[in-house]
């Protein structure tokens, strides 16, 4: 603690504080530059997040084919058969006759497990008089095959119950088990439908299975599974499930339309379900419109950033300045102080120029204008795209595959940029700009030494530390000087008092 002004009566602390204010002005300027640099860093990273999102959307919605393979499928008897496109790029049509639906194999236990008044499904197996520790289950898989090895489950009769046995079977094997309290027996159903070539779809073994009465197979203790039997475009065939894929579209059989006789022959007079597909023009159109909107939003935001005014008279506020202002005043001030951090940025300006140039080119012999997409003639739109809905829908209906190629064409690793599809070109340009901006502003989690602005911030932090050291030295020197002055005046006062006492004593 420093006590001043005892000899002079001067407020030394206030004087030194005022003198240090002038010395701190250069430090405040450095802190302002640092704050502005941090704002700039945040804005660069925000731009890179936008570019990353746009790149991902470009890949997912324009380069991958799922949006452009969307199709409407009409079925003459939708209650009997449903069809939806999964990955087919071409249209399809034909007929299906359903002779037999796939079904799941079942098994029923042959022992009654009855509970007394004080027993339940939660009573341990040993108290129910059930011994054994092991159940082995073979069950048909999704491909209609039986496994070579069973799923083996081990139980503890002193801890496990009927309920826990059923739950473990359901969790770990290819069958669903249930205990029926009315009959006292356990039933099993294969999780997958279909008929196995091995003769059974469910086989159960093990000493606990024997105790529960569920050992055996689906042939001797239940019903066998069955394959779906149908005729597709004249070819009679089978599948282990009622839902399956053919040539990129998914078929779901629901009802028999042409039944079989006892010998397995098709009974004449059955119903053939017809189907056909066509491009889902509206869905493809909506995908392109959404992508164009995302592109327009991106270039609008980026153009706003590089054209944002910079208010040089509005510098970042120091903590002392903020203490003297109201919250709304600080908000309005910093809104202007943060403005223009990316004004005329070369990376963003170059990105916008390359994107606009790419979209004005050709892919093969076709331009965007040929499918109803053109650049806005208004220079204030800075290259936004405009869609002619009728022309775009007409182009999609004519050949959706060609539209997809126009956007997604991959000309190969060594090809020139303009040889790729428009969406692929944009993605390549955006990804390259991301890398360039990351070199300047880094990514979240990067250490400052790995990118340009981070190195600048490190330099400023070191500069601030050195300046603060000099300020402490300056303040210490001023205190020493004022303290020395106080002591000198105090000594002079003491000498004066001594002289006065001496002269007064002689009189």
Contact assessment for residue 308 and residue 349, using Cβ atoms and an 8 Å cutoff: no
What ranges in 412-451 are assigned the alpha helix state H? 422-441
Q: What is the pLDDT of residue 1?
A: 47
What's 342's DSSP letter?
T
Instruction: Please tell me the predicted confidence (pLDDT) of residue 135.
Output: 97
Question: Are the C-beta atoms of 210 and 136 separated by less than 8 Å?
Answer: no
Per-residue pLDDT at 104: 97
- Looking from the CA of 28 toward its CB, the CA atoms found within 13 Å total 13
Predicted structure pTM score: 0.67
What is the full DSSP assignment across 292-332? HHHHHHHHHHHHHHHH----TT-PPPPHHHHHTS-HHHHHH
- Dihedral of CA atoms 152, 153, 155, 160 in degrees, nearest 10, equals -150
Closest CA to 419 of 363, 360, 367, 357: 363
Give the span between the Cα atoms of 260 and 395, in whole angstroms: 46
CA-nearest of 421, 401, 158 to 284 is: 401
| Calpha distance 479→100 (Å, rounded) | 102
pLDDT in tens, the chain (507 residues): 455 555 555 666 777 677 767 777 777 888 888 888 889 999 999 999 999 999 999 999 999 877 888 888 999 999 999 999 887 877 889 999 999 999 999 999 999 998 998 999 999 999 999 999 999 999 999 999 999 999 999 999 999 999 999 999 999 999 999 999 999 999 999 999 999 988 899 999 999 999 999 999 999 999 999 999 999 999 999 999 999 999 889 999 999 999 999 899 999 999 999 999 988 889 899 999 999 999 999 999 999 999 999 998 898 888 888 888 899 998 899 899 999 999 999 999 999 999 999 999 999 899 999 999 999 999 889 999 999 999 999 999 888 889 999 999 999 988 999 999 999 999 999 999 999 999 888 887 788 877 888 888 888 888 878 877 787 887 777 777 777 777 777 777 777 777 777 776 544
């Amino acid at each position: 603690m420093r006590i001043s002004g005892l000899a002079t009566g001067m407020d030394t602390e206030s004087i030194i504080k005022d003198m240090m204010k002038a010395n701190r002005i250069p430090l405040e300027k450095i802190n302002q530059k640092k704050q502005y640099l941090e704002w700039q860093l945040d804005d660069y990273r925000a731009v890179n997040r936008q570019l990353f999102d746009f790149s991902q959307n470009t890949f997912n919605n324009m380069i991958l084919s799922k949006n452009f393979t969307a199709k409407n499928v009409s079925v003459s008897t939708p209650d009997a058969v449903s069809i939806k496109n999964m990955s087919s790029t071409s249209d399809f049509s034909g007929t299906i006759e359903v002779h037999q639906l796939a079904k799941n194999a079942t098994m029923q236990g042959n022992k009654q497990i009855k509970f007394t008044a004080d027993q339940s499904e939660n009573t341990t197996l040993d108290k129910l008089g059930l011994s054994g520790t092991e159940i082995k289950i073979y069950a048909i898989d999704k491909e209609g095959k039986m496994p070579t090895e069973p799923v083996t489950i081990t139980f503890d009769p002193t801890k496990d119950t009927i309920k826990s046995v059923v739950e473990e079977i359901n969790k770990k094997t290819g069958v669903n088990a249930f205990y029926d309290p009315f009959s006292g027996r356990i039933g099993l159903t294969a999780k997958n439908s279909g008929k196995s070539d091995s003769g059974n779809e469910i086989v159960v073994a093990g000493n606990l299975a024997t105790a529960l009465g569920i050992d055996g197979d689906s042939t001797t203790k239940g019903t066998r599974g069955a394959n779906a039997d149908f005729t597709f475009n004249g070819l009679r065939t089978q599948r282990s499930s009622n839902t399956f894929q053919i040539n990129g579209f998914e078929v779901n059989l629901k009802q028999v339309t042409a039944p079989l006789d006892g010998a397995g022959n098709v009974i004449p007079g059955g119903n053939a379900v017809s189907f056909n597909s066509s491009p889902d023009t509206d869905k493809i159109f909506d995908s392109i419109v959404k992508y164009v909107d995302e592109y327009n939003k991106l270039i609008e935001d980026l153009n706003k950033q590089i054209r944002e005014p910079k208010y040089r008279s509005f510098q970042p506020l120091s903590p002392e300045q903020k203490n003297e202002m109201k919250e709304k005043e600080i908000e309005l001030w910093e809104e202007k102080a943060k403005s223009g951090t990316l004004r005329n940025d070369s990376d963003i300006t170059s990105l916008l120029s390359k994107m606009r140039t790419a979209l004005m080119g050709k892919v093969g012999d076709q331009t965007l204008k040929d499918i109803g997409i053109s650049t806005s003639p208004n220079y204030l739109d800075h290259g936004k795209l405009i869609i002619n809905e009728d022309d775009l829908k007409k182009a999609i209906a004519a050949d959706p595959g060609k539209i997809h190629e126009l956007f997604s064409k991959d000309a190969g690793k060594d090809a020139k940029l303009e040889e790729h599809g428009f969406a692929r070109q944009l993605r390549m340009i955006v990804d390259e700009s991301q890398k360039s901006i990351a070199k300047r502003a880094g990514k979240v989690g990067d250490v400052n030494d790995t990118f340009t602005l981070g190195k600048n911030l490190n330099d400023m932090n070191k500069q601030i530390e050195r300046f603060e050291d000099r300020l402490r030295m300056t303040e210490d020197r001023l205190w020493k000087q004022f303290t020395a002055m106080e002591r000198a005046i105090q000594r002079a006062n003491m000498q004066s008092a001594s002289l006065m006492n001496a002269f007064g004593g002689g009189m």
